[in-house]
Amino acid sequence: MGITAIRGFNDILPSEVGKWQFVEKTAREVFEGFGFAEIRIPILERTELFSRGIGEATDIVEKEMYTFTDKGGGSLTLRPEATASMARAYLEHQLYAFDPVAKLYCFGPMFRYERPQKGRYRQFYQIDAEVFGVGNPVVDAEVILMLIHFLRRVGLEKLELQINSLGCRDCRPRYREGLKAFLTEKSFQLCEDCQRRLQTNPLRIFDCKVQTCQEAIADAPKVSDFLCGECDTHFDKVKECLSMANLDYVLNPRMVRGLDYYTRTAFEVVSYDLGSQNAVTGGGRYDNLFQEIGGLDIPGIGFAIGMERLISLLPKDKEFIRYPDLFIAAPGKGTHGEAYRLANQLHLEGIHTEFDYEGKSLKSQMRRADKLKARYVLILGEEEMKKGRAVLRNMADKSQEELPIDNLTGILKNKIGKD
Ligand SMILES: [Zn+2]
Ligand SMILES: [Zn+2]
């Protein structure tokens, strides 16, 4: 074998890409219905955007970023997520000058240097949606409603919405200290990584998979016990708005989010569709992000959906591949030119038509039509053509009919375009 792809970098083949297109198309329809507009941001950014925006003491910034020095000497990073870049674009282009509220979405690849395993790649894809400029809890509920509506539209049914509030600049540090004090007494139980996290970012200990660490945090204090009055009121209003939108939710006090910029509302959606429990997506509010990257004091909320995970959860019975509408079988030298002419006309009409390029036998052409799963086959036999006729075969029910050669394009367009 010659040159292969880099480990963790994945091809999405034509047989799979229909699912991706379906998900993206549905996202566009749903998000734009909620007033979101697409934004396309660069794949490379200055490293400091992520180290400041995501936070130095996170796995992403500490270990997982693709960072390199370019020929100009600057430190650049392949984006590990989209939110910081979207916030940067909002500030840089002063989108707030037109309207302080910006509802934005984007699709695209993200890059993290993680150990590749099944379903996890170093280049992976996300769908991101963000609202900048609104602190009001009504928008938290609206973003969550849009997310759930989208997931249902792509075919996920057994969904559970989990929510929590992470507090604000005032109460989150108090919680962090409370958690630190609690875990310091249990620090002998913590793994080496978590010993360090205890000093730098104790909230991240919740994400540790090590058994003794899980045991240590089992009765850790809850963030809800530390919320200030304003955060309490904010969270109550989110819950009220979710109920008004007929959305069920469960409270999950263990959802704390390691990323430094998260504040107040945090949410996750779990799918029970494939018999097991799968976290589909998560998101939340990040009212500190803009200040971290050197901007104004602007609130934000949003979510990111991992495409690979979402696609693995799509209904198995749905068909995503577009098979040919028509295969033109033209056995015989005299008919080959007619097949080419007709196929060209049908292509211009948007009818997916295939024909044989090599002038093979009728039997071999029919085999190929079958393999390609063409819906119809038009047989241009030399004898029939002399009589001004062709045979159209419906491959599903095997019925056949004779059609006049004159105006075949019009007849086929009507017939095939209609089903
Ligand atoms: Zn607070
Ligand atoms: Zn640990």
User: Which region, left, alpha or beta, applies to residue 145 given φ > 0 means left and ψ of -120 to 50 means alpha?
Assistant: alpha
Q: What pLDDT score was predicted for residue 226?
A: 93
Ligand showing the shortest atom-to-Cα distance for residue 226: 1
Same domain, 34 and 133: yes
Angle at 84 between CA 80 and CA 87, to 5 degrees: 155
**Mean pLDDT over residues 249-277, rounded?**
85
- The answer to whether residue 388 scores a pLDDT higher than 60 is yes
- Domain boundary (263, 279, 312) is at 312
Ligand showing the shortest atom-to-Cα distance for residue 227: 1
Model confidence at 92, pLDDT cuts 50, 70, 90, reads very high
The single-letter code of the amino acid at 178 is G
Angle at 23 between CA 8 and CA 20, to 5 degrees: 40
Q: What pLDDT score was predicted for residue 306?
A: 94
Same domain, 162 and 298: yes
Q: What pLDDT score was predicted for residue 334?
A: 80
In angstroms, what CA-CA distances link 35 with 10, 28, 32, 38, 353?
Answer: 33, 10, 5, 10, 37
Q: How far is the CA of 89 from the centre of ligand 1 (A)?
A: 28
Ligand showing the shortest atom-to-Cα distance for residue 191: 2
214, part of any domain: no
- The answer to whether residue 172 scores a pLDDT higher than 90 is no
Same domain, 54 and 82: yes
Q: Is residue 295 within 8 Å of residue 133, measured between CB atoms? A: no
- Domain boundary (246, 281, 312) is at 312
In angstroms, what CA-CA distances link 129 with 15, 37, 87, 211?
Answer: 27, 9, 12, 34
219, part of any domain: no
CATH (domain of 294): 3.30.930.10
| Residues whose Cβ atom is located within 5 A of ion ligand 2 | 191, 194, 208, 210, 213
Q: How far is the CA of 380 from the centre of ligand 1 (A)?
A: 75
The tens digit of pLDDT for each residue in 108-136 reads 999 999 888 887 899 999 999 999 999 99
Same domain, 286 and 363: no
Q: How many domains does the chain have?
A: 2
Secondary-structure percent of the chain, ordered helix, strand, coil, rounded to 5: 40, 20, 35
- The answer to whether residue 378 scores a pLDDT higher than 90 is yes
Of 148, 134, 127, give the one whose Cα is nearest residue 102: 134
The tens digit of pLDDT for each residue in 31-56 reads 999 999 999 999 999 999 998 888 77
Helix axes 229-244, 137-153, angle to 10 degrees: 40
E-assigned strands of 133-249? 159-165
**Mean pLDDT over residues 91-99, rounded?**
93
Same domain, 292 and 359: no
User: Cβ–Cβ contacts within 10 Å for residue 65, how many?
Assistant: 21
Q: How far is the CA of 282 from the centre of ligand 2 (A)?
A: 22
Model confidence at 273, pLDDT cuts 50, 70, 90, reads confident
The tens digit of pLDDT for each residue in 279-310 reads 889 999 998 888 888 878 899 999 999 999 99
**Mean pLDDT over residues 81-89, rounded?**
94
Say which residue, 336 or 87, is predicted with more confidence: 87
- Judged by average pLDDT, the poorest of 60-74, 230-244, 267-281, 362-376 is 267-281
Same domain, 45 and 82: yes
User: Does residue 416 sit in helix, strand or coil?
Assistant: helix
Q: What pLDDT score was predicted for residue 68?
A: 94
pLDDT averaged over every residue in the chain: 91
Domain that residue 357 falls in: 326-418
**Mean pLDDT over residues 322-326, rounded?**
93
> Rounded CA gap, 39 and 37, in Å?
7
Q: How far is the CA of 231 from the centre of ligand 2 (A)?
A: 29
- Domain boundary (312, 340, 364) is at 312
Q: Backbone phi, then psi, for 217, in 5-degree steps?
A: -95, 0
Q: How far is the CA of 65 from the centre of ligand 2 (A)?
A: 21
Ligand showing the shortest atom-to-Cα distance for residue 211: 2
Q: What pLDDT score was predicted for residue 292?
A: 84
- Tell me the pTM: 0.89
340, part of any domain: yes
Is the torsion defined by CA of 411, 415, 417, 418 positive or negative?
positive
Q: What pLDDT score was predicted for residue 342?
A: 92
- The answer to whether residue 418 scores a pLDDT higher than 80 is no
Q: How far is the CA of 198 from the centre of ligand 2 (A)?
A: 10
- The answer to whether residue 259 scores a pLDDT higher than 70 is no
Ligand showing the shortest atom-to-Cα distance for residue 196: 2
Same domain, 296 and 342: no
Same domain, 359 and 234: no
184, part of any domain: no
Model confidence at 258, pLDDT cuts 50, 70, 90, reads low
Q: What pLDDT score was predicted for residue 419?
A: 54
Q: How far is the CA of 344 from the centre of ligand 1 (A)?
A: 65
Same domain, 247 and 273: yes
5, part of any domain: no
36, part of any domain: yes
The tens digit of pLDDT for each residue in 183-208 reads 999 889 999 989 998 988 888 888 88
Q: How far is the CA of 58 from the centre of ligand 2 (A)?
A: 14
Same domain, 285 and 398: no
Q: How far is the CA of 211 from the centre of ligand 2 (A)?
A: 8
SS (H, E, C) 364-403: HHHHHHHHCCCCEEEECCHHHHHCCEEEEEECCCCCEEEE
Q: How far is the CA of 117 from the centre of ligand 2 (A)?
A: 21
179, part of any domain: no
Same domain, 401 and 277: no
Q: How far is the CA of 272 from the centre of ligand 2 (A)?
A: 27
Same domain, 258 and 359: no
**Mean pLDDT over residues 325-338, rounded?**
89
Q: What pLDDT score was predicted for residue 301?
A: 97
